Amino acid sequence: MQEQVQEVLTKLRPFLLRDGGDVELIDVDDDGIVLIRLMGACGNCPSSTITLKAGIERALRSEVPGVSEIEQVF
């Protein structure tokens, strides 16, 4: 599952880079919880929660079976 998650993040990365940010995959646990770190401009952006939940989580849940939740690591 970790490889599938990384593939999706790679597809999303150009959109984050365009705004001066990036995303790093930390881990995917056995319960389908994906731990990521938003970096650069995304790390301290007031809209980062929306980016995380509405963008990244929705993409991962639709494209990677078994993903249950996304959590941000600081």
| Cα–Cα distance for residue pair 41/59, rounded to 1 Å | 20
Quick one: average pLDDT of 44-73? 90
Decide if pLDDT at 29 tops 90: yes
> CATH 3.30.420.10: does it fit domain 2-72?
no
Give the list of residues 6+ apart from residue 35 with CB closer than 8 angstroms, or none: 25, 26, 27, 28, 29, 71, 72, 73
Whether the per-residue pLDDT at 54 is higher than 90: the answer is: no
The model's pTM is 0.90
